[in-house]
Chain A
Amino acid sequence: MARISISKLTVEFAVFGSSARSLKNSILAKATGGRVTFGHRNIVTVRAIDGLDLELRDGDRAALVGPNGSGKSTLLRALSGIYKPTAGHISITGRVGTLLDPKAGLDLEATGYENIYLRGYLLGMSTREIQTKMDYIAGFTELGDFLSLPMKTYSEGMVARLAFAISTAPENDILLVDEGIGAVDEGFQEKAEKRIAQIFDRASIVILASHSEKLLERFCNCRIHMDRGKLVERTMPHPAP
């Protein structure tokens, strides 16, 4: 039983310009005191998500859409717990898996095998869990002996394969996915999509942020439309086609 409920979520970024971020200016602002400088210390605040209410239940395959900068990635990050809300509340039941930047946490100097372990630990897998999945992951990448070589010898596409295979290994109730899967050749693309479909069947709730209509149409059954940090439209799930 998985569930996400968000009420009045607001996420704000303080963007420290070159001036606000240095200590000198902070101290100067305090020292030169005055009420004038104290209140606005040159920090620009960006409200990435603005009073969002959202409810997702078991079986929801939500397509998160909206123009660039509408707060899609920020919402996924807030849901995964990376960004703590500035205001509002998020409550989640279920183990959350994220597929935000598949290449984050990969070490170019380490070998493919080492990276599978490192990344696996980061994703919250135990050594045993990784060991049982190792054959599967290794097989999925189709990299063969390359897995014993340092990752810096890999091509862009090979890195993408490895990243995808590791990232999609753990089993989760809730899956948050940001954008596509990177540069892979056509054969692997097909395999990856098949894999995504499998994972989507396994996870109870999926939120997929993408600009690819084709992808969204194929995998999602409802739609969350955001614009400038606000919810514009939310359709309820219809039976999958």
Chain B
Amino acid sequence: MWSRFAVHDIKLRFKRSIIGPFWLTLSMGVMVGVLGLISSSIFQQNMAGVLPYIAVGLIFWGFLTSCINEGADVFIGSARYIRNIPMQLSIHLYRMIAKNIIILGFNMMIYLLILVIFPQPLNLNYLLVLPGFALYLINVAWAAFVVAVLSARYRDIPHVISNLVQVIFFLTPVFWSAAKLPNRPAFVTWNPVYHMLEIVRSPLLGERPSIVSWSVSAICALAGCACVLLLYRRAYPRISYWV
């Protein structure tokens, strides 16, 4: 059911535009192109090396931010549904995540296009993206759930979150690379978001993510699921009263 709603959301958003959801692809493409141009001229790197890195980074970062930012509005925005129609509340969350996965799919075309233009030697590391993305998805999903529940209760949370996401964007090597730095700053080494991003980004660039990145992501996922369980017990039945 939530997947039907997700498709409906996408359809609706681009209803009267000519190229429809390809706007997503186009705007992401422009963003990647411009950032690629800037960093290749500033850091004197060749486009072929920089573009795939920036594309994958931005695409997956975009997925994370929209899930979390929209997560803040998942329950608040569906107040009319929640108060009038008996249904599983988690459907609202799944609907939002499913919608963003579809958007992610459209954005991944940029990545494929870059691969076609600058062909890379394929290796087995590319397959690691499957477990990597699964783990990434778990992490995004629990974060979205936690944000959604807290936002329904405390109306300051959405504002706090959108600020926080912005800050993390600059602290995390999304469009700049940590590998180029002589010694890695602490806010990268200890940044869980960096490690989460690494486990999807490295495989897509044909590299093997480090064990540290895998373990940090796994620990985050476990801790997050514990949070979700706790919140589910304590807060979930109250959500319909809060919205």
Contacts and interface: CB of A to CB of B under 8 A. Distances in A.
The reply to whether chain A is a binding partner of chain B is: yes
Interface of A: 13-14, 16, 21-24, 26, 77, 80-84, 96, 98, 100-101, 104-105, 107, 109-110, 114, 117-118, 121-124
B80 A101 contact: yes
A80 B86 contact: yes
Interface of B: 1, 4-5, 8, 12, 15, 80-87, 153-157, 160, 237-238, 240-242
Given A21-B154, A26-B154, 17 more contacts: A16-B242, A22-B155, A23-B160, A80-B86, A81-B86, A82-B82, A82-B86, A84-B238, A100-B85, A104-B85, A110-B12, A118-B5, A118-B8, A121-B1, A122-B85, A122-B87, A123-B85
A77 B87 CA distance: 12
14 contacts: A21-B154, A21-B155, A23-B156, A23-B157, A82-B82, A82-B83, A101-B83, A104-B84, A105-B81, A107-B8, A109-B12, A109-B15, A117-B4, A121-B1
A13 B241 contact: yes
Nearest to B79: A104
- Residue picked from B8, B82, B241, most chain A C-beta under 10 Å: B241
Nearest to A167: B85
Given A26-B154, A82-B240, A84-B240, A121 B4 contact: yes
A83 B241 contact: yes
A142 to B, nearest CB: 25
A104 B153 CA distance: 22
A101 B241 CA distance: 17
A228 to B, nearest CB: 19
Contacts, number: 66
Contacts of B237: 84
Nearest to B238: A84
Most buried by B among A81, A82, A121: A82
Given A21-B154, A23-B156, A26-B154, A98 B241 contact: no
Contacts of A98: 84-86
A24 B86 contact: no
A75 to B, nearest CB: 14
A70 B85 CA distance: 21
Contacts of B154: 21-23, 26
A239 to B, nearest CB: 32
B95 to A, nearest CB: 11
The 6 closest A-B pairs by CB, nearest first: A104-B84, A84-B237, A101-B84, A23-B156, A80-B86, A23-B154
B156 A24 contact: yes
Contact of A77 (B1, B4, B83, B153): B83
B194 to A, nearest CB: 27
A159 to B, nearest CB: 14
Nearest to A107: B12
B8 A110 contact: yes
Contacts of B153: 21
A86 B157 CA distance: 26
A41 to B, nearest CB: 13
A14 B241 contact: yes
A192 to B, nearest CB: 19
Contacts of B87: 122, 124
A13 B154 CA distance: 16
A101 B85 CA distance: 8
A6 B186 CA distance: 58
Contact of B84 (A26, A105, A109): A105
Contacts of A107: 8, 12
A121 B154 CA distance: 30
Nearest to B4: A121
A122 B1 CA distance: 8
A64 B67 CA distance: 42
Nearest to A119: B85
A120 to B, nearest CB: 10
Nearest to A102: B84
Contacts of B157: 23
A110 B87 CA distance: 21
A64 B237 CA distance: 26
Contacts of B86: 80-82, 96, 98
Given A84-B237, A96-B86, A122 B156 contact: no
A105 B84 CA distance: 9
A169 B176 CA distance: 56
B150 to A, nearest CB: 9
